[in-house]
Each structure stands twice: as structure tokens, then as C-alpha cells.
Amino acid sequence: MSEQTSNPISLKATAKNTTAGLLIEYTVENHTDQEQYVWDRMIKYEGNEQKIDDDGAYVFLVDSNVLNVIRADLPLPQAIDVARKEIPFARLLPPQGKLVGTVKLPHPVVEMSPYYAPPKEEQQAKATASEVVLMIGWTPTKPGMKISERTIGGKKVFAIRGAWAGPYQEVLQERLMVSVDVITYKDDFERQTPLR
């Protein structure tokens, strides 16, 4: 288990391999008397219907053996043009409160970006990561934010849009020592870190 204890928000996380895949369980804790928002409600589509992906995350293999597992807002890619930016939904983290979350990624874990199609077989390479870095984005309420409550698939989430002074989001990060088999892209693929 790894733990980040710096205020105002902390992250505790564990990771293990199961028969179903890589399982990451985490808790985000608010040590302040103000509401915070955690950008960890990932988006998926069933047909044209938007859903919450309770298991997913953005996944990038970096430095040949580190697997970044990200639940946060990513910047737009530099290498390709995209029609629409994907922004995860947020959950409200109440004052002095906690939120728990789970990431479940089937074996072998496949790199995933909202801006690239899954790699075809001829585009795939195999690798093994020796550690996982979990990244969770969060933000306090700031002037310029437009925060709207939505219900997606029966779940209450918040959409945060608008423009506000930086940093755009804060990022909690935990290094977890676990070995994971990974399917990576052989072709051009932009491996991103959370928007700051």
C-alpha cells in the first residue's frame, strides 16, 4: 500500500493482480473545510448513449516499465486534431470527507487514450511494467468555473466547464509496486500526463 499524506487532499491506494485483471482500489480524503471536486468518473459510450465507466482509466506505458493509470483531465493531443475534448465527470468531495474508487483493467492491460482507437493486432507490442503510477485529478471551486450536476446512467456526477486561473487541476499521485503485462502501440501514440 502507498499513501500520500500532504494536505489539503490525500490519496491512499493499493494495486494487485487478480484472475480478472489489474485491480486498483483507492481512497481520496479531504482534510479541509471546503468542498473539492475529484475528476474520476470516466466516460464510455454504448451506442450514442453516454455512460459512466466505473472500471476504466487512461493508460500509458512510460519509461518502458512504468504504467501510468490516470483518472484526470488530459490536454488535447499535439500530434492529431480532435473534434471534441473528453473531460471526465467529477464527484463532490465534501469537507473532511472521503471518496473511494476502483480501477479494474483486464489482463493484459492495453494502453488507452480517449483520442486513439484501440491498437489493431499489427499495431501492438508487448511489454511488462514493474510499477504502476495512479494519478487522480482534483480541484477546489474557482471563479470562472461552471459546475452543473448531471445524472448519467442513474449516477449523480458533476460537469465542470468554463475558464479559470491556473493550475487547471491538482493531481494526486501514488507509485504502486506491481508487475503488469501491457499491450502497447508500436505506431505513433501520444502518451499524455494530466493537464495542469
Q: For residue range 88-116, what is the model confidence (pLDDT) as tens digits?
A: 999 999 999 999 999 999 999 999 999 99
Contact in structure between 57 and 104 (CB atoms under 8 Å): no
Question: What's residue 3's pLDDT?
Answer: 47
What CA–CA distance (Å, rounded) separates 11 from 2?
8
Model pLDDT, residue 5:
46
**Nearest residue to 178 (alpha-carbon basis) of 13, 5, 6:** 13
Q: What is the Cα 51 distance to its own chain's centre?
A: 16
CA distance 14 to 148: 31
Would you state the pLDDT for residue 160? Answer: 98
Q: What is the reported pTM?
A: 0.94
Which grid coordinates belong to 94? 465534501
Helix, coil or strand: residue 191 = coil
Please report the pLDDT score of residue 196 as a whole number: 86
List all residues 6 or more positions away from 4 whose beta carbon is below 8 Å from its beta carbon.
10, 11, 12, 172, 173, 174
Please identify which residue in the block is written with the cell numbers 475558464: 163
DSSP symbols for 137-186: EEEE--TTEEEEEEEETTEEEEEEEE--SSPS-EEEEEEE---EEEEEES
**Residue 89, Cβ neighbours under 10 Å: how many?**
21
Q: Where are the domains of the chain?
A: 2-185
Handedness of CA 128, 132, 138, 144 (dihedral sign): negative
Instruction: Provide the 3-class DSSP secondary structure of residue 122.
Output: helix
Model pLDDT, residue 193: 94
Separation between Cα atoms, residue 67 and residue 160, nearest integer Å: 27
Positions of the chain with pLDDT lower than 50, given as ranges: 2-5
